Amino acid sequence: MQINGIDHVELYVGDARQAAFYFGTAVGFRLRGQGGPETGLADQRSLLLGQADIRMLLTSGLTAEHPASAYVQRHGDGIAVVALEVDDAAGAYAELVARGATGLTPPRTFTGADAEVVLAEVGGFGDVVHRLVERRGDRRVFLPGAIEELPGVDGDELLAEIDHLAVCVPPGQLDDTVSHYEKVFGFAQIFEEHIEVAGQAMNSKVVQSPSERVTLVLLEPDTGRRPGQIEDFLRWHAGAGVQHLGLRTDDIITAVGALAGRGVRFAGTPAAYYDGLEARVGTVDAPLDRLRELSILVDSDHGGQLLQIFTESMHVRRTLFLELIERRGARTFGSGNIKALYEAKERELAAAGATPAVAAGGVQA
């Protein structure tokens, strides 16, 4: 079994057309296909969006019984399917089930004039499913006979590919989740750390496929400290799920400037964060005034630097959000920014005469 990468992600949403308007108008995705009862997708409406190597399927249930309807009722809008590209979907399905995966949908073949696609599904984490996708023929054809392809529209490819998915799991489930991906999917743990800031703490472990094309950043709250953002997600999402989708870009300054101009709201960064930035991470090959203006963060590891920024959640539950990341050799995920952001907020509030208690609350908010 060879997992070659992420074929696509599928979001279950309350209104696929409304979600597509946001991702299209604000984030720059373009409509690539559509499907519904008229194409054999019973009781659902699906819209396929694309940008460079990123494919995103938005699905709404048309009846209360459809799985998307139940998902949205429980979790709100969110990533329900992480589809994995494999060489042999039927073989991968059998092997995964034999290793202990929960088999959900046996292999099924979709055949068209120029392409054939085999799909199968197994359980992942929480209510998130892994769809196994085998493509033969024209790989640009998404799902022959089910998703009607639409003419492509040229545009700026500001985002290049899915870099990683960050997943929140309930307390006590981190090690079991890591073990599941190691034993069942053949992933390897490549990184771990314990993060403490402002009385909050979390444990993080990163697992990655042998191809290095599928990366999951797993986050678990430390219940020995005061509740924070991970507990908020687990409560609002009603269990484990994808907290954010990391999207790699080759030019984060251009991408953030463009998306902000289209209405995407990014998490702000205290101005004090940039005081001594290069003392923390080394010389940055980017104009610091522009990074400050756009609130772009910088971190470094033994491999180099990374530039990153997070959007505000676009959902009423304040759950799923996006991360834009430009890698300049760094292979980690910017954890050094957590402490730096908190210390910058402390300095900023102290200068304004705020108390430490207010500062802690400000970070969590």
Separation between Cα atoms, residue 349 and residue 89, nearest integer Å:
54
Query: What is the amino acid identity at position 226?
Result: R
Separation between Cα atoms, residue 83 and residue 9, nearest integer Å:
6
What SS3 string covers the chain? CCEEEEEEEEEECCCHHHHHHHHHHCCCCEEEEEECHHHCCCCEEEEEEEECCEEEEEEEECCCCCHHHHHHHHHCCEEEEEEEEECCHHHHHHHHHHHCCCEEEEEEEEECCCEEEEEEEEECCCCCEEEEEEEEECCCCCCCCCCEECCCCCCCCCCCEEEEEEEECCCCCHHHHHHHHHHCCCCEEEEEEEEEECCEEEEEEEEECCCCCCEEEEEEECCCCCCCHHHHHHHHHCCCEEEEEEEECCCHHHHHHHHHHCCCCECCCCHHHHCCHHHHHCCCCCCHHHHHHHCCEEEEECCEEEEEEEECCCCCCCCCEEEEEEEEECCCCCCHHHHHHHHHHHHHHHHCCCCHHHHHHHHHC
244 is in an annotated binding site: yes
Residues 6+ apart with CB under 8 A from 177: 125, 167, 169, 218, 240
Beta bridge partners of 203: 194, 220
**Token pair belonging to 117:** 């696609």
323 is in an annotated binding site: yes
Dihedrals phi, psi of 274, to nearest 5 degrees: -85, -10
Binding-site members for Fe cation are 164, 244, 323
Binding-site members are 164, 244, 323
